[in-house]
Amino acid sequence: MSLRILDSWYGEQAIEYLDAWELQRQLHAQRVADQIEDTALFLEHPPVYTAGKRTEQFERPQDGTPVVDVDRGGKITFHGPGQLVGYPITKLPSHVLVVDYVRRVEEALIRSLAEFGLATGRVQGRSGVWLPEAPGRGERKIAAIGIRVSRGVTMHGFSLNCDVDLGWYDRFIPCGIADAGVTTLSAELGRDVTVLEAAPTVAHHLAELLTWKPYDPSPDIDRVDHPSLAIGTVQPPTPR
């Protein structure tokens, strides 16, 4: 079965987060009832922070910035212009576990970024797609993933930083990870890479991986361990 892509929400047509969430719910119900085929929403949001179920209070913005609490896994993240957001509404086959689905979405992003000449991968214990440490630069996250599976059908999904303003990430602890950075496709390649440029490549690889055929996963990135901070944990701010 092919993956239908709906993508009418880029640039000036960016869709508000709550409106997209409601659209997801509608499509989810239709997919559960087999009224539609597997479908993915590709879009941009106006600036918004969303917090998954595991978000701690100290990870939220401390300047009063509004945050939307959502029913996906994961922690807090940012969505905004210059970021490709994808919400696959897909029925998982009985042999595909949730973690397998997440790995397939990661793989689609890794393969897409490789087409742009960017070598990325996974970090054990952390979801999403990463770049390894380099001289003068730590590990950087370029794509985040947070999903929900209900009645065997997925919701929420991924966000890929294309040319988003990284200043938005200074207000909170992205995805609850304090010992790594955030980056964009444009920053890494030294040229502007827009959502419109990246979307067709991501759509191609996502559709391919969600045919559920066997695939060879990309290797994890080489990393330098930092024993002072366990992988996937965050230290609360020091009291003043």
Residue 48 contacts residue 80 (beta carbons within 8 Å): yes
In the block, residue with structure tokens 């119900």: 29
Residue 181 contacts residue 220 (beta carbons within 8 Å): no
For the chain, the DSSP string reads -PPEEEEEESGGGPPPHHHHHHHHHHHHHHHHTTSS--EEEEE--SSEEEE-TT--GGGS-SS---EEE-SSSS-EEEE-TTEEEEEEE-BPPTT--HHHHHHHHHHHHHHHHHHTT---EEETTEEEEEE--BTTB--EEEEEEEEEEETTEEEEEEEEESS--GGGGGGS-GGG-SSSEE--HHHHHTS---HHHHHHHHHHHHHHHTT-----PPPPPP----TTS-TT--PPPPP-
Pick from 70, 40, 79: which is nearest to 161 by CA? Answer: 79
Q: Which of 175, 199, 210, 221 is catalytic?
A: 175
Tell me whether residue 175 is one of the annotated catalytic residues. Answer: yes
Which residues are known to be catalytic? 175
